[in-house]
Structure 1
Amino acid sequence: MDIFNQYESKVRSYSNNFPVLFKKAKGCWLETDSGERYLDFLAGAGSLNYGHNNSELQTALVDYITSDGITHGLDMHSNAKADFLVALNKYIFQPRSLDYKVQFTGPTGTNAVEAALKLARKVKGRPNVVAFTNGFHGCTAGALAATGNQHHRGGNGLPLAGVTRLPYEGYAGIDSLSLFETMLTDASSGLDKPAAVLLETVQGEGGLNVASNQWLQRLEKICRDNDVLLIVDDIQAGCGRTGTFFSFEPAGIKPDIVTLSKSISGYGLPMAIVLLKPELDSWKPGEHNGTFRGNNHAFVTAAHSLQMFWSDNALEENIAARSAQVSETLSLVMKRYPQLFEQQKGRGLMIGVECSCGETASLIARECFANGMVIETAGPNDEVVKFFSPLTITQSEMAQGMKIFEQAVDTVASKLIKKAS
């Protein structure tokens, strides 16, 4: 480990919690250089929804590479990009009656958010954007301005402006949408009319807070009635993570702009896109660009993953079944140790349990790792243990993970009870 301590910046974080040397991975398993195996309940923070090194995607990628397919293409046309757009339209847009243009941005989620914010401000001619408490949208300056987390905001070094923060549904018991609607129509509210509202329908880093369908429908109506664009950040919650391809599908809303990244490539390759209603496509050529917006290797695996996993309902059925497995275990441990837990949170396989404090959650995650499972925490105080396995995990593999978690809870509870006495 000396090479990392000597040369890698202290900004690294995951390696601090999982201090082993990983060598290979397959499905929902990680393996170290010494042969130890870990169940992966982190899944690249949602970038590996279909698991590590899916064999069919791997074959498609290797075949493309060995045939000298385009690797780097800027925004030039390529067969790989065409195949992806065809698959996106066939398997995602058409079945959901969606009509979007696709903008290829730089390869990370925050690049997509920056583009979405810039486009909204350009279209509406207004600088202000509304975002919500506990939201996380990225660490570049524009996206960071919309992010609530003070730890991340504190790293910017300059004032973060252009965003008005409102309470997310359930925050401190405040009816935020009544507040928003009143402020929009009150000339003395001090709210500069926003170009857009930006939100996650399920907040990932913010602690797996879920917006209800009714709340989302009401928010959409307020935006429509007041000429404000609705942007859904589906970077972590999208691509099936919450049980449907888009997290907003159960609410029946149709955002003006959607950002996707993380698992859109299907293989963990860097890729990000912005979906925008055609009438909003007011960009001039090259007005927003990025050197790596043409990662054709990602286009290849993205197209194949859409065909493999979204041409029928099999994956959605597996997500629902595995989510029920997690919920059953969470209910058991919450009843067994009510002093350790507050509530179950999230949806689909973006699910977790809120602990009584961040220390308890961290102890449980640490004990899980000691027993062969990689899992992280989320929330304002890292108080939520967050189950983020690949969506393709099997029933038996999930059962192994739940057994590790249960044992970790028993161990931590025993230590805390002993300490208290």
Structure 2
Amino acid sequence: MKIFDEIESEVQSYARNFPRIFERAKGEYVYDTDGNEYLDFLAGAGSLNYGHNHPVFKEKLLEYIANDGISHSLDLHTEAKREFLETFQEKILQPRELDYMVMFTGPTGTNAVEAALKAARSYTGRSNIISFTNGFHGVSMGSLACTGNSHHRGAAGLTLAGSSRMPYDGYMGDDLDTIEYMDKVLSDSSSGIDKPAAAIVECIQGEGGINACTAEWLRNLEAVCRKHDMLLIVDDIQAGNGRSGNFFSFEEAGIKPDIVTLSKSLSGYGLPFAVVLIKPKYDNWKPGEHNGTFRGNNMAFVTAKAAIDEFWSDDSFEKEVRRKGKYIEERLNKIVDEHGEGNFTTRGRGMFQGINCVNGDIAGQITNAAFRQGLIIETSGADDQVIKLLCPLIITDENLKRGIDILEDAVRLVCRRVDEIPEENDYFDDVVVEKNEEKTEVQA
């Protein structure tokens, strides 16, 4: 660990929670340099929906590289880009009757969000954006202005402007229709809210705590956007690419957003890749008006096409994700009922679910205990109080059960509170993780 301590920036975060040196990964497994095996319920923060080093994608990528395929091309036309666009149109957009132009931005999700905001402002001539409580859209300045988390906003170093916050679905409790409130505010010229260019929303708020809006709320949001002549942007960076049980998280509601941002698992292989999907009437860019040296990624085009061909040629994969999601829901509800003493709750949908543990200290103790038993899993929410399940969608039933079993053991351990949880170094120093064919045994 010496080199990391000596010269890596203090901004690192995941490495603090999982202090190991990892060297290889396969499917839903990650291995450290000591040979320990971990089930990965983090999956690159949702960037590895198809697991690590999927053999089909890897073969296609290696073949492309071996044939001297173009690695960098700015926004030049390439064969890899053509094949991706044809596949994406044929197997993702057309079956869902979606008519979008595909804009290749810089390789990160926040760059896609910046481009989406810019496109909406350019088309409408307005600057204000409606965003929602607990939303997270990235840490570059425009995206950060639409992000609710004070920890991230506080690092900006200046006043963040250009966004008006509205309460997300359920934020004010079950008795208040937050979309009705939003409509009232936008209809009142004295509300202090400037007429917006767009509203940006996550159908499932990942970093905000796995808050999932209802289909009805989302349909009402679309209707209010139409009423007030503003664009609807769906940020599907973490909830998209199958995580919700459909390719797009908004499909359940039957809406058709004006703009959609995609990244994370779009490449299928963990390669940097982001796009903005824009209805043709709003695609009014002048050439080069929003650009970047690494817009598009030819190697990601190759693996993204392979992922779509492998998993999205029919609806069988979606059905599998929904089946596994139902199992996750049942297991988490049981864990909450048996160990939460009425304080814990579950949230989310599809294979994007979590446990609200009241406070970040409890959630942190649980994820720490799970890690010591060979499970990598993170927290989210305003106070890191939500344990967040983001396992690869391709995980086997056996390993899905095993991972949740480890999580349940960790919840039981923490909630038992016998003499309090000992300090990590006292309790876990001698933990040896031994792998056999059926399970991981933890010996302290």
Q: TM-score normalised by the shorter chain: which range applies? A: over 0.9
Count residues with an aligned counterpart. Answer: 419
Secondary structure of 2:292's aligned partner: coil
Which stretches in structure 2 are left out of the alignment for 5+ residues?
422-444
* Letter matched to residue 156 of structure 1: A
* Letter matched to residue 118 of structure 2: K
Q: 8 Å contact 2:172–2:178 — kept in the other structure? A: no
Q: Deviations over 1:102-138 (max 9, x none)?
A: 0000000000000000010000000100000000000
Deviation at 1:312, TM superposition (A): 1.6
- 1-side partners of 2:148 and 2:415: how far apart? 32
* Letter matched to residue 295 of structure 1: N
Normalized against structure 2, the TM-score is what?
0.93
Deviation at 1:391, TM superposition (A): 0.4
Matches within 5 A, 1:352-391: 352-391=354-393
Deviation at 1:419, TM superposition (A): 4.0
Could you tell which deviates more after superposition, 337-346 or 14-23?
337-346
Map of 2:113 onto structure 1: 113
* Letter matched to residue 184 of structure 1: L
Secondary structure of 2:344's aligned partner: strand
* Letter matched to residue 362 of structure 2: T
Secondary structure of 1:142's aligned partner: helix
Matches within 5 A, 1:213-252: 213-252=215-254
Q: 8 Å contact 2:274–2:296 — kept in the other structure? A: no
1:47 aligns with 2:47: yes
Deviation at 1:327, TM superposition (A): 1.9
Map of 1:189 onto structure 2: 191
1:89 aligns with 2:82: no
Could you tell which deviates more after superposition, 198-207 or 337-346?
337-346
- 1-side partners of 2:256 and 2:325: how far apart? 25
Q: 8 Å contact 1:339–1:356 — kept in the other structure? A: no
- 1-side partners of 2:87 and 2:262: how far apart? 15
Alignment match of 1:258 (pick from 257, 260, 263): 260
Map of 2:58 onto structure 1: 58
Could you tell which deviates more after superposition, 278-287 or 333-342?
333-342
- 1-side partners of 2:301 and 2:418: how far apart? 52
1:313 aligns with 2:309: no
Which stretches in structure 1 are left out of the alignment for 5+ residues?
none
Map of 1:279 onto structure 2: 281
- 2-side partners of 1:7 and 1:259: how far apart? 34
- 2-side partners of 1:419 and 1:33: how far apart? 31
- 2-side partners of 1:362 and 1:419: how far apart? 14
Cα distance change, pair 30–340 in 1 and its aligned pair in 2 (3 A): farther
Deviation at 1:316, TM superposition (A): 1.3
Deviation at 1:356, TM superposition (A): 2.4
Secondary structure of 2:269's aligned partner: coil
Q: Deviations over 1:203-260 (max 9, x none)?
A: 0000011111111111101111111000000000000011100000000000000000
- 2-side partners of 1:12 and 1:215: how far apart? 37
Deviation at 1:340, TM superposition (A): 6.8
Matches within 5 A, 1:280-359: 280-339=282-341, 341-359=343-361
Map of 1:101 onto structure 2: 101
Map of 2:128 onto structure 1: 128
Q: Deviations over 1:293-348 (max 9, x none)?
A: 13100000011101111012222122122222222221222121232742110011
Q: 8 Å contact 1:341–1:353 — kept in the other structure? A: no
* Letter matched to residue 384 of structure 1: V
Map of 1:67 onto structure 2: 67
Map of 1:28 onto structure 2: 28
* Letter matched to residue 353 of structure 1: I
- 2-side partners of 1:320 and 1:185: how far apart? 39
- 2-side partners of 1:200 and 1:16: how far apart? 28
Secondary structure of 2:15's aligned partner: helix
Secondary structure of 1:6's aligned partner: helix
Could you tell which deviates more after superposition, 341-350 or 264-273?
341-350
- 2-side partners of 1:403 and 1:84: how far apart? 39
Q: 8 Å contact 1:315–1:391 — kept in the other structure? A: no
Q: Deviations over 1:75-102 (max 9, x none)?
A: 0000000011001001100110000000
- 2-side partners of 1:64 and 1:276: how far apart? 29
Normalized against structure 1, the TM-score is what?
0.98
Deviation at 1:410, TM superposition (A): 1.6
Coordinate RMSD, CA, aligned: 1.1
- 1-side partners of 2:87 and 2:239: how far apart? 20
% same residue: 53
Map of 1:37 onto structure 2: 37
Deviation at 1:417, TM superposition (A): 4.9
Map of 1:153 onto structure 2: 153
Map of 1:172 onto structure 2: 172
- 2-side partners of 1:216 and 1:328: how far apart? 25
Q: 8 Å contact 1:340–1:413 — kept in the other structure? A: no
